[in-house]
Amino acid sequence: QVQLVESGGGLVQAGASLRLSCEASGRTFSGYAMGWFRRVPGQEREFAAAISWSGGSTRYADSTKGRFTISRDNAKNTVYLQMNSLKPEDTAVYYCAANREGISTLGRYYDAWGQGTQVTVSS
């Protein structure tokens, strides 16, 4: 199974940008579709973005479309989430996840999860 470690979270002001990274180790990274999810304490986990194993297909939540961009570098075993025009409602713990079956917006299809990285956006 692939192991995932996120980084890049932090505290920023509304309108700022952040880039999250998720580095994978273990199984062949390029065989997995990857996703980014987020969770606010007390709320359900929310899908943010996903990318196919090749990078040729992406999916976004309505709340992130146009502001977030997911990408991957299979040579570096890393997936990224570029977040622009951040809003206070983007505040959450962000998790990356790996899916052997292909790109999906549903968390239950993901096989491996990272530990999460906190993103806080102040108004």
**Residue position matching structure tokens 């491996």:** 112
pLDDT exceeds cutoff 90 at 113: yes
The CB-side HSE value for 113 (13 A sphere, CA atoms) comes to 15
3-state secondary structure of 55: coil
Amino acid at 52: S
Max intra-chain CA distance, the chain: 40
43 vs 29, which has greater pLDDT? 43
Looking at this protein, which amino acid is placed at residue 122? S
Residue 41: pLDDT over 90: no
Residue 1: which pLDDT band, with cuts at 50, 70 and 90? confident
Q: Which pLDDT tens digit goes with each residue over 44-97?
A: 999 999 999 999 999 999 999 999 999 999 999 999 999 999 999 999 999 999
